[in-house]
Amino acid sequence: MKVNLSDDFKTKYRNLLGKRAEDLFEAIQQDSQEAFRLNPLKPDYQNVSYSLDKPIEYSNIGYFGDIDGNSIDHLSGYVYSQEPSAMYVTEILDPKENDKILDLCAAPGSKTTYVASKMASQGLLVSNEINDKRAKVLSSNIERMGISNTVVTNNSPKDFEKKFGDFFDKILVDAPCSGEGMFRKDPESVKYWSLDYVEQCANRQRHILDSAYKLLNAGGSLVYSTCTFSPEENEENISWLLDKYPDMHLVDVKKYHGMEDGHPEWDNGNPELKKALRMFPDQFNGEGHFMCRLVKDGEPKTIKERAINDGLKKEDRQFFNKFAKANLNGLSDVNWLRISDFLYQAASLDNRFKGLHILRNGLKLGEFKKNRFEPDIAWILALKPSELKTVYHFDEPQFKKYLHGESVILEDRPNFNKWIGLSYQNKLFSWGRFSNAQIKNVYPKGLRR
Ligand SMILES: C[S@@+](CC[C@H](N)C(=O)[O-])C[C@H]1O[C@@H](n2cnc3c(N)ncnc32)[C@H](O)[C@@H]1O
């Protein structure tokens, strides 16, 4: 589909880029670059049905290629579709296993799920999204990828300031922007673009950056990224932050083939801005992006957790242990948390979260029903086959039937325990409730196809 670039857009970029602007306009009319990531949180994670022949040089889990949202690799969280430029944002954030990380604009979750996959289920990741519908999508993507160290919140960045103060080691602001770098991926988005819209976005981004500064511990890193070319939303906002907060400074990030320096001449001429990174689709094999990493001066403060009560009732452990004894090969010691009738393996028991709108705190293990415990899909997506007493491997017709919402009859009438893991192509994707030679369908209605 042709992208209809407005005269204002063309004039603006002819002024900034000179003759090169024509190459950029031409690149915007080409197909966008498809890519995907593997998920190292899964066992045997390279076992996917997609070709791994075209690796992305700066990511050890990223590959060029397209994936199918109905494939088992996708449904079981072994792959995540993400275009190549966006992958580099997580690389420059450089998540480490015991970090406390805040992603302030996280939905639908491409960067956050990459961050979590680098933290190996350790530390704490808070994935926040201000828009409630988008926050739900974020939460389901986190569930699909089997992530357990993440609290998903649905708040404005400002809501965190009083509660958390300078709590976080690393913060990602992947800001809502005018989206110029995504025009060819989403040609409809060009309709919203105007010179005024760029200004509005830049203004909103400053508010988010201001919160991010306040939430960052001394010595911590802030990564700012947009998928737009406009200097107002990029270099100008970084200059604004550096002027307002002199204890912040830009640091160099490695630039691979086709990645370019930031443009000081599009702003106040400060040569530091060259440390930022730009990707233009006429030079780089990906969509348009801007990103940079800033560090806050000083020695990190020690942050102590202020633990809340886990909310478990007396009989909860009894019901849960009964379930575990019958269906699992053991149980590791985790932070339990009961919220209404649901049991979580909490990512955090810190009372700083009190009053925030939390969609998910860690891993939802299941629900207490009358005198019993029933496991949740989120849990199976985070378990390994070796942790379950019984895993039943479906063939293709059985898999399709189950995915469609039907039960599956086992002619050989095996003698299984009640809750079994279901796998297809060696990937766990659902619980099954076994009774009387049948695997009863418990695949969530919203996921059926
Ligand atoms: C570029 S998208 C984030 C994409 C996401 N990081 C990913 O990789 O999948 C920006 C997000 O910021 C959210 N947003 C919009 N206004 C906001 C505001 N004032 N503060 C924080 N986030 C906002 C949008 O709803 C949107 O989900």
3 state SS of 414: coil
109: annotated binding-site residue? Answer: yes
Nearest to residue 182, comparing CAs of 67, 65, 291, 289? 289
Helices 132-144 and 110-119: angle between axes, nearest 10 degrees: 40
pLDDT score recorded for residue 46: 98
Is 203 a pocket residue for ligand 1 (Cβ < 6 Å)? no
- What is the residue extent of each domain of the chain? 7-296, 390-449
pLDDT score recorded for residue 14: 98
Which whole number is the average pLDDT over 229-254? 98
Query: Tens of pLDDT along 205-218?
Result: 999 999 999 999 99
Is 165 a pocket residue for ligand 1 (Cβ < 6 Å)? no
267: annotated binding-site residue? Answer: no
Are 208 and 202 in contact, with CB atoms under 8 Å apart? no
CA of 212 to the centre of ligand 1 (A): 13
3 state SS of 231: helix
CA-nearest residue for atom 19, ligand 1, is 204
3 state SS of 409: strand
Query: Tens of pLDDT along 351-398?
Result: 999 999 999 999 999 999 988 999 999 999 999 999 999 999 999 999
Distance (Å, rounded) from C-alpha 444 to C-alpha 424? 17
Query: In sequence order, what DSSP letters do the residues of 116-141 get, joined into one string?
Result: HHHHTT-SEEEEE-SSHHHHHHHHHH
Distance (Å, rounded) from C-alpha 427 to C-alpha 49? 12
**Cα 47–Cα 53–Cα 58 angle in degrees, nearest 5:** 95
Are 348 and 400 in contact, with CB atoms under 8 Å apart? no
Residue with tokens 């297809």: 424
Is 137 a pocket residue for ligand 1 (Cβ < 6 Å)? no
Is 126 a pocket residue for ligand 1 (Cβ < 6 Å)? no
Tell whether ipTM is more than 0.90. Answer: yes
Are 127 and 151 in contact, with CB atoms under 8 Å apart? yes
Query: Tens of pLDDT along 307-359?
Result: 899 999 989 999 999 999 999 998 878 899 999 999 999 999 999 999 999 99
pLDDT score recorded for residue 330: 85
Tokens of 156: 């404005």
129: annotated binding-site residue? Answer: yes
Which whole number is the average pLDDT over 301-308? 90
In this predicted structure, the answer to whether residue 138 has a pLDDT above a threshold of 80 is: yes
Please report which confidence band the pLDDT of residue 305 belongs to, taking 50, 70 and 90 as the band edges: confident
Give Cβ neighbours of residue 445 (< 8 Å, ≥ 6 apart): 405
In this predicted structure, the answer to whether residue 74 has a pLDDT above a threshold of 90 is: yes
Ligand 1 nearest-atom number relative to CA 177: 1
Please report which confidence band the pLDDT of residue 57 belongs to, taking 50, 70 and 90 as the band edges: very high
Which whole number is the average pLDDT over 414-433? 97
Given ligand 1 and candidates 88, 105, 237, which is best to mutate, with the most ligand atoms within 8 Å of its CB?
A: 105
Provide the β-strand partners of residue 222. Answer: 171, 294
pLDDT score recorded for residue 377: 98
CB-based burial label for 4 (10 Å; 0-12, 13-18, 19+): exposed
Is 116 a pocket residue for ligand 1 (Cβ < 6 Å)? no
CA-nearest residue for atom 1, ligand 1, is 176
CA-nearest residue for atom 22, ligand 1, is 105
In CATH, the number for domain 7-296 is 3.40.50.150
3 state SS of 246: coil
CA of 15 to the centre of ligand 1 (A): 29
CA of 152 to the centre of ligand 1 (A): 14
In CATH, the number for domain 390-449 is 3.10.450.720
The catalytic residue positions are 227
Q: What average pLDDT does the chain have?
A: 97
Helices 235-244 and 195-215: angle between axes, nearest 10 degrees: 40
pLDDT score recorded for residue 297: 98
Ligand 1 nearest-atom number relative to CA 179: 1
201: annotated binding-site residue? Answer: no
Query: Tens of pLDDT along 402-419?
Result: 999 999 999 999 999 999
**Single-letter code of the amino acid located at 28:** I
What percentage of the chain has pLDDT greater than the value 90?
96
**Single-letter code of the amino acid located at 436:** N
In this predicted structure, the answer to whether residue 1 has a pLDDT above a threshold of 80 is: no
Dump strand ranges (E) for 154-306: 168-174, 216-226, 248-251, 259-261, 277-279, 289-296
CA of 196 to the centre of ligand 1 (A): 19
CA-nearest residue for atom 24, ligand 1, is 176
CA of 441 to the centre of ligand 1 (A): 36
Query: Tens of pLDDT along 177-226?
Result: 999 999 999 999 999 999 999 999 999 999 999 999 999 999 999 999 99
Provide the β-strand partners of residue 409. Answer: 438
CA of 156 to the centre of ligand 1 (A): 10
Is 176 a pocket residue for ligand 1 (Cβ < 6 Å)? yes
Q: List the single range of 146-150, 214-218, 302-306 with lowest mean pLDDT.
A: 302-306
Ligand 1 nearest-atom number relative to CA 89: 8
